[in-house]
């Protein structure tokens, strides 16, 4: 997938507008979201095993010098997944666009027959500080049917700007997850 593909799919004038365009898509009409998801899957030849946006983000959107945003190579994500086991809940305190979660998701799915993989048994909790990364993270998890929680905030201080719930109602590895924006006041009350 090229940056020109992304500009066309999200109807962008400037690639820097990608995070807000993705968030608008995720918060909008589900039919339109699903059309875009299917186009992304087609453009990437049905290969869901990696973060399609990583190179684009790294070269166009990352704030490496200002915020120390660096990317995890796919091979390291696969290694970490193998070292940590293949069942239960995953916590990623610096998720970025989700490349480590995607690598783990792929490894877990490869260990069982397709009909024996259930998103509800492989929940994730992700945190990230970057307002630019959160929309791409949400898209990357949702398009893969992953279930769990995404916190836009600081995992160290537990300061939460926004909480999102990823829900795969069918518990189907081939279904997309809904993204539910939690009421931030409820999140603050839970922390107290």
DSSP per-residue codes, the chain = --HHHHHHHTT-SSGGGHHHHHHHHHHS-HHHHHHHHHHHHHHTTT--SS-TTHHHIIIII--HHHH------HHHHHHHHHHH-SSS-EEETT-TTSHHHHHHHHHHHHTS-GGG--GGGS-EEEEE--TTHHHHHHHHHHTTT--EEEEEEETTTTEEEEEEEEE-TT--TTSPPEEEE--HHHHHHHH-
Q: Model confidence at 3, in pLDDT bands (50, 70, 90)?
A: confident
What is the model's pTM?
0.88
Range of the domain at 168: 3-191
pLDDT at 94 exceeding the cut of 70: yes
Model pLDDT for residues 100-130, shown as the tens digit of each residue: 899 989 988 888 888 899 999 999 999 999 9
Mean pLDDT taken over the chain: 87
pLDDT at 80 exceeding the cut of 80: no
* Number of domain units in the chain: 1
Instruction: Determine the pLDDT at residue 2.
Output: 87
């Amino acid at each position: 997938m090229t940056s020109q593909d992304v500009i066309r799919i999200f109807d962008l004038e400037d690639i820097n507008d990608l995070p807000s365009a993705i968030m608008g898509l995720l918060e909008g009409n589900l039919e339109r979201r699903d059309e875009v998801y299917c186009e992304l899957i087609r453009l990437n030849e049905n290969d869901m095993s990696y973060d399609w946006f990583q190179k684009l983000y790294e070269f166009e959107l990352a704030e490496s010098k200002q915020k120390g945003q660096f990317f995890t190579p796919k091979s390291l994500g696969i290694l970490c997944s193998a070292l940590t086991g293949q069942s239960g809940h995953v916590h990623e305190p610096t998720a970025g666009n989700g490349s480590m979660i995607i690598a783990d998701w792929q490894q877990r799915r490869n260990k069982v027959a397709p009909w024996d993989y259930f998103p509800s048994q492989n929940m994730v909790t992700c945190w990230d500080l970057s307002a630019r990364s959160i929309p791409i993270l949400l898209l990357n998890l949702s398009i893969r049917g992953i279930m769990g929680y995404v916190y836009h905030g600081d995992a160290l201080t537990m300061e939460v700007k926004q909480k999102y719930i990823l829900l795969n109602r069918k518990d189907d590895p081939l279904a997309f997850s809904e993204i539910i924006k939690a009421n931030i006041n409820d999140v603050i009350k839970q922390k107290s």
